[in-house]
Amino acid sequence: MTGSLSIIGIGPGREDLVTPQVRAAIDRATDVVGYIPYVERIAARPGLTLHPSDNRVELDRSRHALDMAMQGRHVVVVSSGDPGVFAMAAAVFEAVEAGPADWRRLPIEVLPGITAMLAASAACGAPLGHDFCAINLSDNLKPWAIIEKRLRLAAEADFAMAFYNPRSKSRPEGFARALDVLKDACGDARPMIFARNVTRPDQTIRVVPLPDTTPDMADMRTLVILGSSTTRLITRPDGAAPWIYTPRSVPA
């Protein structure tokens, strides 16, 4: 019997942002593997086994999923947002490359989802409307020196930037260091957007000039976007939140 493996993204939180392609993969799955909060979003049903696991066991989770697919099961590996953006797709392929040759014969598909930076950008306008980059601020899998180098080079290139995993309880100092680097490298009052629980009922969007930002404005449920030097704010009447966009053109 031939099994299969689908690596899916269930979007940033709101159920109507899950794609039909992803829903179909869940409907035909025999097993769902993933981080506990993401697996909890999958409805239980007869014939479906849920395999929740803790954070930081991505490779173990990937090997488990691959083993079950080799046994003829139809396995879904679930990520929030998009599985290819700081999520499980890379972990699965890392396991495939280092694992048994038979794993390479499995039908493996990656099904995209709406990632948090796109949902956050849409919630306030179009701050990622021109060239931008995404940086994971966690130093769990890379040294801080690499993060700092990328922040400085991205600021020098004048990218808008989206930041994942800005500040956790175990490493609260990381975002403070990132803000120090950005304030030094950018030297202006471009807007920084703090989008917490984006698309969920308790969503909050806060826009703060970079010099006025503080580390406590973000946590692990926050997606942070920093505009480029050309990013614009459009004020609106009656106290409505401004629209924020980065123009499509850059002056010569």
Start-end ranges of CATH 3.40.1010.10 in the chain? 4-114
Kindly give the confidence (pLDDT) of every residue in the chain, 252 residues in length, as a single tens digit, with 9 standing for 90 and above: 679 999 999 999 999 999 999 999 999 999 999 999 999 999 999 999 999 998 789 999 999 999 999 999 999 999 999 999 999 999 999 999 999 999 999 999 999 999 999 999 999 999 999 999 999 999 888 999 999 999 999 999 999 999 999 987 777 788 999 999 999 999 899 999 999 999 999 999 999 999 999 999 999 899 999 999 999 999 999 888 899 999 998 887
User: Residue 62 has which token pair?
Assistant: 């990937």
Look at residue 197 in the predicted model and tell me its pLDDT.
94
Answer for the pair 231, 244: CB distance below 8 angstroms, yes or no. yes
User: Residue 155 has which token pair?
Assistant: 């600021």
Give the predicted TM-score (pTM) of the model.
0.93
Question: What does DSSP say about strands 191-196 and 160-164: parallel, antiparallel, or unpaired?
Answer: unpaired
Largest CA distance in the chain: 63
Look at residue 1 in the predicted model and tell me its pLDDT.
64
Look at residue 122 in the predicted model and tell me its pLDDT.
97
Classify residue 44 by burial, with Cβ atoms within 10 Å: 0-12, 13-18, 19+: exposed
What CATH homologous superfamily does 4-114 map to? Tetrapyrrole methylase, N-terminal domain (3.40.1010.10)
Look at residue 251 in the predicted model and tell me its pLDDT.
83
117-245 domain in CATH 3.30.379.10? no
Look at residue 169 in the predicted model and tell me its pLDDT.
73
Start-end ranges of CATH 3.30.950.10 in the chain? 117-245
Look at residue 172 in the predicted model and tell me its pLDDT.
75
Look at residue 210 in the predicted model and tell me its pLDDT.
97
Backbone angles phi, psi at 220, to 5 degrees: -75, -10
